[in-house]
Amino acid sequence: MGTSAPAPGWCVLVLVLLLDTCGVGGQDFQVLQPKDPVSVSAGDMLALNCTVPQRGPAGPVKWFKGSGSDRQLLYAETGSLPRVTRAAPASPTDFSINISDVRPEDAGTYYCVKFTKGSPDEEYRSGAGTVVSVSGVGGQDFQVLQPKDPVSVSAGDTLTLNCTIPQRGPAGPMKWFKGSGSDRQLVYAETGSLPRVTRAAPGSVSDFSINISDTRPEDAGTYYCVKFRKGSPDEEYRSGAGTVVSVSASPSAPSVSGPASRVEPGRPVNFTCTSKGLSPGDIAVTWLKDGVKLPVQPLQILPENERDSYRVSSTLARTLTVRDIRSQLTCQIEHSTMSAPLRGTYKLSQALRVSPRPRLAANYSGAVPVNEMVALTCSLAGFYPNAARLTWMENGKETQPEKSPSPTENRDGTFSLTGTLEVRATEQKNQSAFTCRAVHDSQAPTSVTRVLAVTATSAQMEEGPQAGQCVLSSPGLWVGYVLEKGLIGAFLFFLFVRRKEP
Average pLDDT, whole number, for the chain? 85
- For residues 304-330, average pLDDT: 89
Share of the chain above pLDDT 70, in %: 84
* Host H or E run for residue 479: helix 475-500
What would the pLDDT profile of 51-72 be if each residue is shown by its tens digit? 998 888 989 999 999 998 889 9
**The pLDDT value given to residue 2:** 45
Strand partners for 483:
none
Nearest to 326 by CA among 384, 390, 279: 384
| Burial group, residue 316, by CB count within 10 angstroms (0-12, 13-18, 19+) | buried
Inform me whether the pLDDT recorded for 481 exceeds 70.
Answer: no
The per-residue pLDDT for 303 is 85
Q: Which pLDDT band holds residue 171 (cuts at 50, 70, 90)?
A: confident
Instruction: Tally the C-alpha atoms within 13 A of residue 292's C-alpha that lie toward its C-beta.
Output: 3
- The larger pLDDT score, comparing residue 410 to residue 442, is at 410
Q: What is the 3-state secondary structure (H, E, C) of 51-81?
A: ECCCCCCCCCEEEEECCCCCCEEEECCCCCC
Burial of 140: CB neighbours in 10 Å, binned 0-12, 13-18, 19+: exposed
Predicted local distance difference test score (pLDDT) of residue 17: 38
Q: In the predicted model, is pLDDT for residue 128 greater than 80?
A: yes
Give residue 463's pLDDT. 40
Query: What is the reported pLDDT for 102?
Result: 84
- Distance (Å, rounded) from C-alpha 155 to C-alpha 248? 6
How many beta carbons lie within 10 A of that of residue 488, not counting itself?
10
**For residue 10, pLDDT beyond 60:** no
Residue pLDDT, tens place only, 439-478: 998 889 999 999 999 986 544 433 444 433 434 444 555 5
> What DSSP assignment string belongs to 484-498?
HHHHHHHHHHHHHHH
Contacts of 351 (CB under 8 A, 6+ apart): 258, 259, 262, 263, 269, 271, 320
pLDDT at 320: 95
CA distance 479 to 457: 20
Confidence tier at 141 by pLDDT (50, 70, 90): low
Query: Is the confidence at residue 489, as pLDDT, over 50?
Result: yes
Q: How many helices (H) and strands (E) does the chain have?
A: 3, 34
Per-residue confidence (pLDDT) for residue 178, from 0 to 100 = 95
177-186, 229-238, 326-335, 480-489: least confident range: 480-489
State residue 465's pLDDT score: 43
Q: Which of 76-80, 99-103, 353-357 has the highest mean pLDDT?
A: 353-357
Of 242, 212, 237, residue with least CA distance to 225:
242
Measure the CA–CA gap between 283 and 336, rounded to whole angstroms: 8
- What is the pLDDT, as a whole number, of residue 472? 41
Sheet with 446-452, side-by-side order of all strands:
397-399, 388-394, 432-440, 446-452
Count of other CB atoms within 10 angstroms of residue 145: 15
- Coil, strand or helix at 429: helix
DSSP β-bridge partners for residue 318: 269
pLDDT, mean of residues 315-338: 94
pLDDT at 170: 81
C-alpha closest to that of 360 among 404, 421, 416, 442: 421
Cα–Cα separations (whole angstroms), residue 356 to 375, 379, 384, 392, 404: 22, 9, 8, 16, 18
Q: How would residue 19 be classed by pLDDT, with cut points 50, 70 and 90?
A: very low
Distance CA 23, CA 16 (A): 11
Residues 93-118 pLDDT 10s: 999 999 988 888 888 999 999 999 99
pLDDT of residue 26: 53
pLDDT given at position 305:
67
**pTM listed for this prediction:** 0.57
Average pLDDT over residues 62-86: 90
- Ordered by where they begin, the domains of the chain are 27-137 (2.60.40.10), 151-248 (2.60.40.10), 255-350 (2.60.40.10), 359-452 (2.60.40.10)
DSSP 252: P
- Given a cut of 50, whether residue 14 has pLDDT beyond it is no
Spatial CA neighbour of 383 closest among 364, 405, 367? 405
Q: Cβ of 67: how many Cβ atoms within 10 Å?
A: 12
Answer yes or no: is pLDDT of 353 > 90. yes
